[in-house]
Amino acid sequence: MDWGRAKSVLIIAFLLLNVLLGYQLWADMSDRLNSNVDLTALPQETLLVMQEKGIRLTGSIPSDKPKLADLSFRYTLKSGQNDKIKLDKPVDSRIVFTESELIEGLGAIVPDLELYRFDSVASYDGVFVLYRLYEGLPMFDVKLELYYSNQKIVAYKQDRIMLIADKESKRQPLLPAATAVDSLILKHLQPGSAIQDIRLGYGYQGQAFNTEDIQGTAPTWRVLLEEGPDYYVDAISGEVVSVNEETDTAG
């Protein structure tokens, strides 16, 4: 018997078996983690970590690859904790789900309402959250909050800004959403975390500003969990900001 040849055949057979088992493990994890979510954008190493930590992805990973530039703006109104404005007459809360009805119901009351867009995932009990848009993308630092009770909108609180032209800011390729999520899973997320929403917008800075100062904001991937802190990943530098009750920056 040619033992050298037999040894080579066995080695090749084992390698093929490992490849097959690896593929079956990857496919099995993809199905078990979430049968409705495409996880092919994530490396196999990350899928293994997800399985080990019990991390789930219930939302989709955006695949678009736009080129965006930083933004500059100045707050003309930065609302604080006690800056709610009560409505003289409460408005039916269902209008928030239809843009035309929202404008019709509150357009004469809330300034620049047409520039803000409802975010169902960021909203919470008693508060509808809307973000100021720029080129169709939300600015996570510029919010409009509509407070409701007994199915009626009873008050609002609003950040307002003026955009500042910045000729030096150039559009550049962004960190893909899958790369941002991969980094969070490997370095930041706790066991049992469930990612429910991944959205591109302009960055969260999470601090009070003097309305006279010009602010800068960068393209950012926002990653929301079902429970736990919100994460904002700078789509250019990859820097991560986690937001709980207080803002806390992680490298």
What local confidence, expressed as pLDDT, does residue 209 receive? Answer: 55
The two three-digit tokens of residue 36, written as one number: 């409705």
What local confidence, expressed as pLDDT, does residue 10 receive? Answer: 57
What local confidence, expressed as pLDDT, does residue 25 receive? Answer: 46
Q: What is the dihedral of CA 52, 57, 63, 67, to 10 degrees?
A: -90
Fold category of 36-67+170-250 in CATH? Lipocalin (2.40.128)
Q: What share of the chain is helix, strand, coil (3-state, %, to 5)?
A: 25, 35, 35
Alpha carbon distance 239, 249 (integer Å): 8
* Model confidence pLDDT, tens digit, residues 160-218: 999 998 777 899 999 999 999 999 999 999 999 999 999 999 987 665 455 568 888 99
**Tens-binned pLDDT, residue by residue, of the chain (251 aa):** 555 565 565 556 556 545 454 545 444 444 444 444 567 789 999 999 999 999 999 888 998 888 999 999 999 998 876 789 999 999 999 999 999 999 999 999 999 999 999 999 999 999 999 999 999 999 999 999 999 999 999 999 999 999 998 777 899 999 999 999 999 999 999 999 999 999 999 987 665 455 568 888 999 999 999 999 999 999 998 999 888 644 344 44
Alpha carbon distance 36, 49 (integer Å): 19
What local confidence, expressed as pLDDT, does residue 37 receive? Answer: 56
Sequence ranges of the domains in the chain = 1-33, 36-67+170-250, 79-158
What local confidence, expressed as pLDDT, does residue 214 receive? Answer: 86
Could you tell me if 86 and 152 are in contact, meaning their C-beta atoms sit under 8 angstroms apart?
A: no
* Intrachain domains 36-67+170-250 and 79-158 with the same fold: no
What local confidence, expressed as pLDDT, does residue 233 receive? Answer: 95
Superfamily of domain 79-158: YycH protein, domain 2 (3.30.310.160)
Task: Please report, as a single letter, which amino acid is at residue 246.
Answer: E
